[in-house]
């Protein structure tokens, strides 16, 4: 039956992709999905209050990802870190997810930053370092691999590249196991403009690579989220041996994961939240050496990803949670911090159309019913 979307009439797909859970984890690439959190819709709070999280639904979604062979990147940008989820909430999320991962044998890494510091003012480097140390200790106490996230506070505290080098050197010396370094671009978080001590990306890249070159034994890999495939490939080729590149490029991930004769990227992606089962299946195809088959599966998903991550890119989380609701992973379309209002109805309707066309919804009838209910709330159902 036709559904009338803001962009025009659309006939939903009748059958979903057949992607049952229970398959083994991919072997040729390490693949993490940065996972979203599920809000508690019945909590009587305001957007300025600490997040109220539906813990059971949040952990159930992680079990879904693990069941399809993916790793979970916890308490990252996709979990609304710093956009509705404060450090106290992130710490509880890490503890709960770490316990769940241990119970089911799932792979997990978690974001470590400095977001317990006040948002305003200019902290000292010592305060930023101490904040990082507190979060690093929590990750290690819970047995999860740390991902050293880019720090808004460090941008305010640092005078230049030398302060980044000193801060990261101190943290890497303290880490008991190799970590993942994360470079999140300003399109994801405007407060991170000029990270690594320069707004010039060539200069910033040199500083980033210097941190790694001075401590290669403490760096498992790097995650680059700059939406610039050429720069990621250049950095990937300049890494010391044994240091992995985890793509965070939600625009160009198929080609970066497939790689070329000089290397490839692993994956740590927010788009692998809604694409989880399909992404894991595609990489298992790549495990067999079938690059064309891998690209045939993932290339058609790029239009959806580019739509969800279009500017202002930082609001991509709204589309991710919306698709989780349509897919039946949660019973409501409510987000911490009220972020469900951050994208327009036409944007969400296009996301529905693209995701349905890919066969992503396990129950297309449920997705259609929920899309119609959203249209009704907006006064536009037919």
Give the other-Cβ count within 10 Å of 140's Cβ.
17
Nearest to 222 by CA among 267, 161, 173, 270: 267
Q: What is the pLDDT of residues 214-266, one digit of tens each?
A: 999 999 999 999 999 999 999 999 999 999 999 999 999 999 999 999 999 99
Q: Does position 47 have pLDDT exceeding 90, yes or no?
A: no
What are residue 179's phi and psi, to 5 degrees? -110, 170
How far apart CA 229 and CA 255 sit, in angstroms, is: 9
Nearest to 75 by CA among 93, 101, 63: 93
Mean pLDDT, residues 269-297: 98
Q: Do you find a cis peptide bond into 312, omega within 30 degrees of 0?
A: yes
- CA within 13 Å, CB half, 224: 28
How far apart CA 198 and CA 316 sit, in angstroms, is: 26
Question: In sequence order, which residues have a C-beta less than 8 Å from that of residue 242 and are 6 or more positions away?
Answer: 216
pLDDT reported for residue 48: 82
Q: What is the pLDDT of residues 254-281, one digit of tens each?
A: 999 999 999 999 999 999 999 999 999 9
For 60-83, the DSSP string reads HHHHHHHHTT-EEEESSGGGTBTT
pLDDT-based confidence at residue 23 (cuts at 50, 70, 90)? confident
Q: Is the pTM of this model over 0.75?
A: yes
Q: What percentage of the chain carries pLDDT values higher than 90?
A: 95
Are 69 and 280 in contact, with CB atoms under 8 Å apart? yes
- The pair of three-digit structure tokens given for residue 293, joined into one six-digit string: 């088959």
């Amino acid at each position: 039956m036709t559904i009338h979307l803001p962009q025009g009439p659309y006939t939903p797909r009748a059958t979903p992709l057949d992607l049952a859970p229970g398959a083994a984890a991919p072997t040729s690439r390490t693949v993490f999905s940065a996972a979203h959190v599920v809000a508690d819709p019945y909590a009587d709070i305001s957007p300025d209050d600490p997040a109220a999280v539906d813990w059971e639904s949040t952990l159930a979604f992680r079990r879904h990802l693990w069941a399809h062979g993916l790793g979970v990147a916890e308490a990252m940008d996709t979990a609304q870190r710093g956009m509705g989820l404060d450090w106290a909430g992130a710490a509880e999320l890490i503890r709960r997810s770490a316990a769940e991962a241990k119970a089911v044998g799932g792979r997990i890494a978690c974001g470590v930053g400095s977001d317990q510091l006040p948002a305003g003012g200019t902290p000292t480097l010592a305060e930023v370092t101490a904040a990082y140390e507190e979060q690093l200790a929590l990750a290690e106490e819970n047995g999860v691999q740390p991902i050293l996230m880019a720090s808004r506070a460090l941008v305010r505290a640092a005078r230049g590249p030398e302060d980044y080098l000193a801060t990261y050197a101190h943290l890497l010396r303290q880490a008991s196991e190799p970590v993942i370094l994360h470079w999140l671009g300003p399109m994801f978080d405007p407060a991170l403009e000029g990270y690594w001590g320069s707004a010039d990306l060539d200069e910033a890249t040199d500083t980033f690579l210097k941190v790694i070159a001075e401590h290669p034994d403490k760096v498992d890999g790097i995650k680059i989220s700059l939406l610039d495939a050429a720069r990621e490939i250049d950095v990937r080729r300049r890494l010391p041996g044994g240091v992995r590149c985890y793509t965070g490029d939600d625009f160009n991930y198929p080609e970066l994961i497939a790689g070329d004769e000089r290397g490839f990227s692993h994956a740590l992606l927010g788009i692998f939240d809604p694409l989880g089962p399909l992404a894991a299946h595609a990489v298992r195809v790549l495990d067999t050496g079938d690059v064309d088959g891998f690209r045939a599966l993932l290339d058609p998903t790029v239009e959806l990803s580019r739509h969800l991550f279009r500017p202002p890119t930082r609001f991509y989380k709204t589309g991710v949670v919306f698709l989780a609701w349509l897919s039946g992973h949660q019973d409501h379309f409510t987000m911490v911090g009220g972020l469900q209002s951050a994208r327009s109805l036409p944007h969400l309707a296009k996301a529905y159309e693209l995701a349905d066309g890919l066969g992503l919804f396990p129950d297309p009838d449920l997705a259609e019913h929920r899309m119609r209910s959203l249209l009704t709330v907006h006064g536009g159902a037919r």
